[in-house]
Structures are given as structure tokens and as C-alpha cells.
């Protein structure tokens, strides 16, 4: 599944990732390369201008009268005190493994990143359900890159809506 075309922030992050992946020490995950690469992959997804809402999160936003036709700062609903969380549909560690297992051409890296799923806004209780079934940082057994990026939500019984939170501003991670 390919998601909407890249914005300027995603383009910059993809170029950073592409440049990094030609460095042997980065590919070998030396120093902090593993952390940095995963962080840039996560930021690539987070740089999207819209985050999908789970059905429970949609209800939460609705019960507070939040207008989903407006754009909000990414920091507005981010943080440990928020009832909702920003979740990567495909964990960045999974995307990182795919990137490291293939050639470092610009086109292959772009293809992987544009297939890296989307950010989903879930309730903290839904995030806990992912952890309880061992899917906090991995995809379900038998899942392969290119399969449904929402597979772990289905496995955890988390319904996704067709609604989005429109976001702007500094990327939060």
C-alpha cells in the first residue's frame, strides 16, 4: 500500500536516510546508527500531514467537540499526559530491517519508505492491547512487508476509522 506523495519534510528525511545507508558503519549499526536510523524512519512517517484515527480515538475527539476539519499542532495531543498516542502502523524497527536487507538505491529506499504505513492515533488503552499480545514493536507472525500495514491492529481488535487528525508543525518523537 502506497500512501500519499511525500511532502518536503519527508523528502528531506528520505534523502538523509538514503545518504546514511551508503555508509558501511551505518549499515552495520555501529555507534548510535541503529537508533538514529530508526528515529529518522519514524520521523519520515510522522512528517505526514494527517494521522488516521482509531474508532475509539475518533469517539474521544468527538466527545470533546474537536473539529477534525482543522489542522492542529503535532504537539497538541502528544505526550505522556494525553489520553491518545501517535502509533506507527508498521514499527520503525521493521522498516529498518527491510531497508538494511536490500540495496541502497534511491528508488528502492523510496519504495520502502512510502510503504511504511501511516501514523495512527490510538487510545493509550489500545496501545496497551498491542503490547499485551506482543505486537508493540513487531508485526503479526506470517506478515510480510507489503501486506496490510494495519494487520497488528486487526489482530488486537482495534478498529480503525476513515477519519484523520490533520497535523502541522514540529515533528514529535
CA distances for 122 relative to 30, 95, 105, 148, angstroms: 33, 20, 34, 18
| pLDDT of res. 5 | 79
The answer to whether residue 1 is domain-embedded is no
CA pair distance 102, 98, nearest whole angstrom: 7
Q: Is 2 inside any structural domain?
A: no
3-state secondary structure of 165: strand
- Domain-located, residue 86: yes
49: in domain = yes
Furthest-apart CA pair in the chain: how many Å?
51
pLDDT digits (tens, 9 = 90+) for 120-164: 999 999 999 999 999 999 999 999 999 999 999 999 999 999 999
Q: Dig out the grid coordinates for 91 from the structure.
A: 514499527
Confidence class for position 4, pLDDT limits 50, 70, 90: low
Residue 103 falls within a domain, yes or no? Answer: yes
113's grid cell: 519508505
Residue 130 in domain: yes
What is the C-alpha to C-alpha distance for residues 3 and 144, in angstroms, rounded to an integer? 17
Residue 3, in any domain of the structure: no
Beta-ladder partners of 160: 54
In this predicted structure, what is the pLDDT of residue 104? 85
pTM: 0.92
Three-state DSSP class for 84? strand
pLDDT number for residue 1: 45
Number of folded domains that form the chain: 1
Q: Which residues span the domain enclosing 140?
A: 8-168
Question: Domain for residue 109, yes or no?
Answer: yes
Amino acid at each position: 500500500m502506497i500512501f500519499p506523495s511525500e511532502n518536503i519534510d519527508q523528502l528531506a528525511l528520505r534523502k538523509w536516510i538514503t545518504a546514511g545507508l551508503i555508509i558501511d558503519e551505518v549499515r552495520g549499526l555501529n555507534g548510535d546508527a541503529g537508533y538514529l536510523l530508526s528515529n529518522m524512519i519514524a520521523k519520515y512517517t510522522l512528517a505526514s500531514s494527517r494521522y488516521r484515527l482509531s474508532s475509539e480515538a475518533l469517539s474521544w475527539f468527538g466527545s470533546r467537540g474537536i473539529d477534525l476539519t482543522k489542522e492542529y499542532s503535532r504537539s497538541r495531543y502528544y505526550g505522556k499526559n494525553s489520553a491518545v498516542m501517535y502509533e506507527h502502523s508498521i514499527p520503525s524497527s521493521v522498516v529498518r530491517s527491510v531497508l538494511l536487507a536490500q540495496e541502497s538505491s534511491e528508488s528502492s529506499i523510496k519504495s520502502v519508505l512510502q510503504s511504511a504505513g501511516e501514523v495512527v492515533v490510538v487510545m493509550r488503552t489500545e496501545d496497551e492491547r498491542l503490547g499485551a499480545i506482543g505486537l508493540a514493536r513487531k508485526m503479526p507472525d506470517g506478515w510480510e512487508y507489503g501486506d496490510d500495514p494495519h494487520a497488528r491492529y486487526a489482530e488486537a481488535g482495534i478498529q480503525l476509522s476513515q477519519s484523520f487528525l490533520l497535523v502541522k508543525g514540529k515533528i514529535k518523537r
